[in-house]
Homo-oligomer: A and B are copies of this chain.
Amino acid sequence: MTSLGDMFGAAEVGNRIDKATFKRDVPKVRAELLQMQRAIAQSPLAPVVHIGGGDELGKVSALGTLLGWLDARGVESVALPAPSDEERERPRFWRFWRLLPPRGQMAVLIGSWYTNPIVDRVYGRMDDVTFEREMRRIRDFERMLVQEGVPIIKFWLHLPKSVQKKRLAKVKRDPASRWLVGEEAWTYFKRYDRFRSVAEAALRLTSTGVAPWHVVESANDRYRNLTVATTLIAALREAQEVWASSRAQQGRRRRAAAPKPAKINVIRQLDLSVTIETEDYEAQLVRQSAKLGRLARQLHEAGRSMILAFEGPDAAGKGSAIRRLAAAMDPRLYRVISVGAPTDEESARPYLWRFWRHLPRQGRVTIYDRSWYGRVLVERLEGFAARDEWSRAYAEINEFEAQLSEFGIVLLKFWLAISPEEQLRRFRDRQTTPYKQYKITEEDWRNRRKWDAYEAAACDMIERTSTSHAPWVLVEAEDKRWARVKVLKTVCSRLADALTA
Residues of A within 8 A of B (CB): 31, 34-35, 38, 60, 63-64, 67-68, 71-74, 76-77, 79, 84-86, 102, 110, 176, 179-180, 293-294, 297, 319, 322-323, 326-327, 330-333, 335-336, 338, 340, 343-345, 369, 435, 438
Contact = CB atoms under 8 A, between A and B. Distances in A.
Nearest to A297: B179
Contacts of A293: 176
Given A331-B63, A331-B79, A323 B38 contact: no
B73 A327 contact: no
A310 B322 CA distance: 49
A438 B369 CA distance: 44
Nearest to A102: B343
A179, A293, A297: most-surrounded residue (chain B CB, <10 A) = A179
Contacts of A340: 73
Given A38-B438, A435-B34, A63 B332 contact: yes
Contacts of A73: 319, 336, 338, 340, 369
A323 B86 contact: no
A180 B79 contact: no
Contacts of A344: 343-345
Contacts of A35: 435
6 contacts: A38-B438, A60-B332, A72-B336, A74-B338, A77-B332, A102-B343
A332 B110 contact: yes
Q: How many copies of this chain does one complex carry? A: 2
A335 B84 contact: no
Given A72-B336, A323-B72, A344-B345, A330 B85 contact: no
A293 B293 CA distance: 55
A67 to B, nearest CB: 5
A77 B366 CA distance: 12
Nearest to A69: B323
A180 B64 contact: no
A319 B85 contact: no
The 10 closest A-B CB pairs, nearest first, are A79-B332, A73-B338, A72-B336, A64-B331, A63-B331, A344-B344, A84-B86, A31-B435, A68-B327, A345-B345
Contact of A176 (B294, B326, B333): B294
Contacts of A336: 72-73
B338 A72 contact: yes
Contact of A72 (B86, B180, B319): B319
A331 B67 contact: yes
A71 B319 CA distance: 8
A64 B34 contact: no
Contacts of A435: 31, 34-35
B331 A77 contact: yes
A40 B338 CA distance: 17
Contacts of A343: 102, 343-345
Given A68-B326, A345-B343, A345-B345, A331 B179 contact: no
A77 to B, nearest CB: 6
